[in-house]
Amino acid sequence: MNSQNNDNSTIDTSVLPNDIFTRVGDDFFSIVQLLAGDAVRDILQIQLINSATKLLNIENVFAFFQIESDETDIIKAESCFKSKTGQYIVKPGIQTNLSNFVKLLKHKLTEEQLIHNEDNETQQKYITDDFINKHPLLKSLIKYYQENDSNNNNKTNGFLISFIDNLLFNLTRSSNHFRYTESIKNFAVCLYILGGKQAYNFIRLNLFGSIPNLPMICDLINKSDMRLTEAEFRFESLQQFHSHFGFCSEDTTGVIRKAEYDVATNSFIGFATPIINGVPVPKYYQPHTFDDFKTIFNTNEVAPLLNVHVFQSVPTEDNAINIPKPFVLSAYGVNNKFSTMDILRRWIYIFESCLDKGVRVIGFSTVKAYIDKSTSVSERIQAAWCVVFVCRLWWCWLKTTKAYKTKSQNKTNKFFITKPAYISVELNAHNLLYLVLLVKQQHLPKQALINIHLFNSQGCESLFRDARSLSSTFSTTVNFTVKNFIRRSQKLSILNQMKYNQNEKDLSFPIHHKQKREHSLVSSHQLDEIDTLDIEQIIAHAYDQAIHIVKHSKMLDALNQHGINSLDSLIPADIVEEFGLDEENDDNNVIDDTQVELDDGTVFDPQSDDSSDEEDLLNSTKSDFNGIRIVDDINPALRQSYFKIKINDNIKYLHKQSACWLLTNNITKLSSDRLSRVMKQTADVG
């Protein structure tokens, strides 16, 4: 009986047309040919069995083969074996095809009879006023849908209606047959990402049938195209923003030092990623044996920092208020041991790779925003260059004042801002001017300047904050390892994609009250202002403003004595020399040295003639390894996740994550306080 039920459960009647029992002649034979084959069609056709009803009423379709006739000889030769006694035996494949087809018809007939019976029962039952009054939910639902139709609120309450319909639909069937619409799946994924596992389970258990179970949610996340691999750049995913321009930013944050095994890439992550020509090398640590992994662990530094590259898309003209969230291009562990030329080459690599995908990077940033969002373009230029001129006046005054002239250059630098800060001021001002010129020459859209406030590394900082906020509700841990961040960034990418790509805005997300005010449309006069900008006049005003700022000090007197009293005389040549910006040769030497170190520091070569396939030997007196994934046998499909080792002359398999735990001597911690965290990571890197 059970086997019969199992057979019925595997029958898919959807392959049959709904009108199969009304089809006659060629319409019926075409279905037979499609599902049972040409031979079965010919057998039915020669007997004039031209409908499903006739076929179900015949007990033995092959009985006519026992008739001696010239008309049946051809079909007999094609469909039967003839024994030496003259008996015809139908070929097993033809019997099976016909048997399966008849089963389909019988099952389809049973389904239609059940549907017919249900329709009859439905017609016999009707909802009375007493029944509605007995169930207040029905009364409220009817009233809600009536008001919704009359007020035309389908667009604003679209998701709510879909949620109610899907919930009530699932409540009428068993839990094994629950179904969910795409909007419900998207809502469930967002809820899981924002609320965590505990909150999700609480809602799912108390709103039975409303959202999918956790395995389905995890499957949806894993199958998304937002997966991030350490040190790999996701240039292919930039097309999702439908914008051809954007800013790139780069920043680091402290992470918990920990080497971990990544099953998806069969590599170890958490070590300081090698940098070649400025570009990180993905999947670098892939040892084949436990000895190779021990060599890696003992000769490579576990990364104290996480380096992140973020792409901030510029909103398009037709969707100016919908600013996309920053997109994670790449993330990898670092120890901050790279040169200026490494950074420059990495930026060039990112620029060219984005250009290959039809996206142009119009600026790189590693510092904070320096202009308010509401500032006009002319005010941005003047403010940026005013700061530049103040810094230049300040430095020139320091160089020309005898009181501060000493043999030690460092003592002079004590009275000036830091070298990275000054370089940042100059780069920002020149880049802003470069963008304005490109827009005036119509090489860039005006939206690139209107959204200049996006040109900053706050996208990286926002990403770090969001990743830390994804900690579990009952966890006090806000920091993460490199692997933790990569997993969390995948969830954030899915969430941001859903926020940006909602065509009908089914789901509503909370927005900070400041962002609500900032989302107002850009006025047309700000766009028109760009065409009439007088760049030289604006920069001249910036110089006058800088002079006005310092005129109450004694700077101008000293500068006038040395002939530095005009905009033309305030050239940055001396500053460039003093700050050591012309270091191409030194940086090239650093690059060459780094390359040599990478070549000499290769910890293993799987293709080398010296590599051996023999098992790694571990001497131990233990025979039981509770808590460590050391097993005697493994599934061959999981072979790459284990090291093959020999313990006491016995072959064992050690999971690669357990190998990380086995070799880790110290458990590192990172402070939850941001100030303490920055101080610690600065001390570690220094």
Q: Does residue 262 have a pLDDT over 90?
A: yes
Q: Does residue 521 have a pLDDT over 60?
A: no
pLDDT digits (tens, 9 = 90+) for 125-150: 567 777 778 888 888 888 888 887 77
Within a domain: 148: no
| 188 and 104 together in one domain | no
| 175 and 71 together in one domain | no
**Closest residue by Cα to residue 488 from 628, 257, 306, 663:** 306
Q: Find the mean pLDDT for residues 1-16.
A: 63
Sole residue written with tokens 């003093």: 578
Q: Does residue 119 have a pLDDT over 70?
A: no
Q: Does residue 579 have a pLDDT over 80?
A: no
Q: Find the mean pLDDT for residues 578-588.
A: 45
Q: Find the mean pLDDT for residues 511-522.
A: 53
* Domain boundaries, position 57: 2-124
Q: What is the mean pLDDT of the chain?
A: 77
| 36 and 171 together in one domain | no
Coil/strand/helix, residue 347? helix
| 192 and 60 together in one domain | no
Q: Does residue 609 have a pLDDT over 80?
A: no
Q: What is the helix (H) or strand (E) element at residue 167, kind and residue range?
A: helix 158-171
| 43 and 171 together in one domain | no
Within a domain: 213: yes
pLDDT digits (tens, 9 = 90+) for 422-433: 887 888 888 888
Within a domain: 177: yes
pLDDT digits (tens, 9 = 90+) for 284-305: 999 999 999 999 999 999 999 9
**Closest residue by Cα to residue 418 from 397, 438, 395:** 395
| 202 and 54 together in one domain | no
Within a domain: 71: yes
Confidence of residue 122 (pLDDT cuts 50, 70, 90): low
Q: Find the mean pLDDT for residues 481-485.
A: 88
Under 8 Å between Cβ of 356 and 445: no
How far is the C-alpha of 416 from the C-alpha of 658, rounded, in Å? Answer: 52
Backbone φ and ψ of 572, nearest 5°: -90, 10
Give the domain-ending residue among 178, 196, 222.
Answer: 222
Angle ∠(676,682,686) on CA atoms, nearest 5: 150
Q: Find the mean pLDDT for residues 615-639.
A: 69
How far is the C-alpha of 572 from the C-alpha of 426, rounded, in Å? Answer: 10
**pLDDT score recorded for residue 605:** 39
In the chain, the number of structural domains is 3
| 545 and 420 together in one domain | yes
Within a domain: 137: no
Within a domain: 85: yes
| 45 and 185 together in one domain | no
Q: Does residue 486 have a pLDDT over 80?
A: yes
How many CA atoms are closer than 13 Å to the CA of 469, on its beta-carbon side? 11
pLDDT digits (tens, 9 = 90+) for 61-117: 888 877 777 777 788 888 888 787 777 888 888 888 888 888 888 888 888 888 877
Under 8 Å between Cβ of 220 and 192: no
Under 8 Å between Cβ of 96 and 86: no
pLDDT digits (tens, 9 = 90+) for 340-380: 788 889 989 999 999 998 888 887 764 433 556 667 788 88
Within a domain: 86: yes
| 114 and 19 together in one domain | yes
Give the domain-ending residue among 544, 564, 582.
Answer: 582
| 542 and 442 together in one domain | yes
HEC assignment per residue over 663-684: HCCCCCCCCCCHHHHHHHHHHH
Q: Does residue 611 have a pLDDT over 50?
A: no
Within a domain: 251: no
Q: Find the mean pLDDT for residues 173-188.
A: 91
Give the domain-ending residue among 222, 248, 264.
Answer: 222
How far is the C-alpha of 404 from the C-alpha of 417, rounded, in Å? Answer: 15
| 6 and 115 together in one domain | yes
For residue 139, what are the CA distances in angstroms to 133, 152, 162, 190, 630? 7, 20, 19, 32, 62
| 217 and 70 together in one domain | no
Coil/strand/helix, residue 305? strand
Under 8 Å between Cβ of 371 and 346: no
Q: Does residue 11 have a pLDDT over 70?
A: yes
Under 8 Å between Cβ of 439 and 446: yes
